[in-house]
Amino acid sequence: MEHAQQVNPFDYIIFGATGDLTMRKLLPAFYNKLRLGQIPEEARIIGTSRTDLDKAGYIERANEALERFIPDETKSPELIERFLKMLNYITLDGTKSDSDWAGLHTILAESPKDRIRVFYFATAPQLFGAISENLSKNDLITSHSRVVLEKPIGTNLDTANAINNGVGQFFPENQIYRIDHYIGKETVQNVLALRFANPIINAVWSSEYIESVQITAAETVGVEGRASYYDTSGALRDMIQNHLLQVLCFVAMEKPESLEADTVRNAKVAVLKALRPITDKNIASDTVRAQYTAGTVGGNNVPGYVDELGHTSNTETYAAVRAWVDTPRWKDVPFYIRTAKRSAEKVSEIVIQFRAEASTLFGKPPASNRLVIRIQPHEGLDLRLNVKNPALDTFTLRTAELDAPLLIEGQPFPDSYERLLLDAVRGNPILFIRRDEVESAWRWAEPILTGWSENKAPMETYSAGSHGPAKAEAMLASNGDKWHENME
Ligand SMILES: NC(=O)C1=CN([C@@H]2O[C@H](COP(=O)(O)OP(=O)(O)OC[C@H]3O[C@@H](n4cnc5c(N)ncnc54)[C@H](OP(=O)(O)O)[C@@H]3O)[C@@H](O)[C@H]2O)C=CC1
Ligand SMILES: O=C1O[C@H](COP(=O)(O)O)[C@@H](O)[C@H](O)[C@H]1O
């Protein structure tokens, strides 16, 4: 029962409480957990940012955000009122030692000494070290504290190390929770259930039966209001180095011996370390980068990336990589990873392409088996099977799709932040990223970024509203493969 999962009372202190992430994702996620009975009445959420607001002013902003971002079916005025009572706010510049730390101290001192304290850093990551230092200097880090770090953890290995060292001086690794909202998605967590709770899946989960794996995260939106961040990041840093490599880890990891956090994270690190390096020799053939040009998305004409920015740019809005996991299980199985802005459709999915049966009793089958794990939207599974064609008095085959929705009728699917926010309170880091995962991911991704910056793979273009550049099609075609597109 949901109520049984109620967490202990907590104080959540959000740095960046007036920002987009807090308003659009964090507050609605907390609200839903309160609705589900998982948050006790004594719990408090204390927002901080430099914006000069009092408690009432912040509550007003939070109320507007809830009105806007919670779905109508879960909106209840009484519950919103209860939720808003949990909120407090203090104006604070997290990077300045002479800011109002005493004020934060006073608010936190109202709670029992052993109250769980979670600091959530929803600000630019360059500030994380300074905020941690000020928390430490002001004696705000207790043995019951944890810190949640938002992405991106660096733009390369060096900057990631700088951020991790900055925070690590004041918080031990076991108190650091690096969040990746893709692992917060039910459908990504479900990959573990699918693989390790179903012998019929587990038994065929290797190169003996699997020919290739595709991992896609495509979006119809452009860079929206985040151009200044995105143009310094690009698709590989924004989505592949973190979210999609995490998804790949779930698909490719060996079975962990338990669900103990470090056992699972060790299994992920082993995958990241087994990723074959992309070098100058294969960067042009195994990676594709591209920028969208003007086109039509959902019936609307949209400008190209550089027109949206108003200046030229060498930043990719599309990235695709043919990756290899050099373990016996995945020998010779390509993992095709891609992500795009301004794509034809919003879809995140994993496609497991099984090997073809060369010949059956009935001759060559019309298609080989394929499992599509729909991360979003239409969360669910699609399994393509060969079956007998009932229209014919012969053993002629046709294909059929078994469609298993993961949504439960009448039950809203949890947003990706919901479990993660409370797992930090529970002190369960299983779905958070350990430092060595960040480092291994950068060790694989950075040579691609370096090669691209040296023009070792050309910048391609694709029309907004298309599925991506022709070169990405060609990359798969060279293995006899084809991207899975839902719209075809
Ligand atoms: N928005 C999203 O969907 C996602 C965001 N993220 C990450 O979350 C973080 C926040 O993103 P987002 O909310 O979009 O960013 P915003 O720019 O919307 O918000 C930044 C927040 O940080 C506060 N802030 C800035 N400087 C300081 C400071 N010195 N001390 C205290 N607070 C400060 C700002 O308030 P003020 O200026 O008043 O101080 C504001 O509340 C980033 O790391 C981003 O990469 C990750 C995934 C998705
Ligand atoms: O972290 C990010 O993720 C979003 C996509 O998330 P999704 O849950 O909607 O698939 C992406 O738009 C953003 O650029 C990136 O920073």
**How many whole angstroms separate alpha carbon 105 and alpha carbon 110?**
9
Nearest ligand to the C-alpha of residue 21? 1
> If you take atom 8 of ligand 2, which residue's CA is the nearest one?
182
- Whether residue 231 contacts residue 313, with contact meaning beta carbons closer than 8 Å, is answered with yes
Strand partners, 373: 350, 381
| Domain assignments of the chain as residue spans, ordered by start | 2-178, 186-411+433-477
- Whether residue 290 contacts residue 459, with contact meaning beta carbons closer than 8 Å, is answered with yes
Binding site for substrate, by residue number, is 181, 185, 219, 238, 341, 346
**How many whole angstroms separate alpha carbon 300 and alpha carbon 27?**
32
Please say if the pLDDT value at position 191 is more than 90.
Answer: yes
> If you take atom 14 of ligand 2, which residue's CA is the nearest one?
238
Residue-wise pLDDT for 204-240, tens only, equals 999 999 999 999 999 999 988 889 999 999 999 999 9
Of 117, 162, 124, 120, the C-alpha closest to 139 is 117
**How many whole angstroms separate alpha carbon 277 and alpha carbon 446?**
10
Q: Which pLDDT does position 2 carry in this prediction?
A: 45
- Nearest-atom index, ligand 2, CA of 376: 10
**How many whole angstroms separate alpha carbon 83 and alpha carbon 100?**
25
**362 — pLDDT class (breaks 50, 70, 90):** confident
Give the length of the chain: 488
Ligand 2 pocket: which of 150, 185, 219 to mutate (most atoms within 8 A of CB): 219
**407 — pLDDT class (breaks 50, 70, 90):** confident
Residues enclosing ligand 2, CB less than 6 A?
217, 219, 238, 348
**How many whole angstroms separate alpha carbon 137 and alpha carbon 120?**
18
0.95 surpassed by complex ipTM: yes
Of 328-332, 377-381, 409-413, least confident by mean pLDDT is: 409-413
- Nearest-atom index, ligand 2, CA of 375: 10
Confidence (pTM): 0.96
Give domain 186-411+433-477's CATH number out of 3.40.47.10, 3.30.360.10, 3.30.70.890, 3.40.190.10.
3.30.360.10
Whether 105 is a known active-site residue: answer no
Q: Does domain 2-178 bear CATH number 3.40.50.720?
A: yes
Nearest-5° Cα angle at 55, 53 to 58: 60
Q: Is 222 in the pocket of ligand 1 (CB under 6 A)?
A: no
**Which is the catalytic residue, given 243, 311, 467, 484?**
243
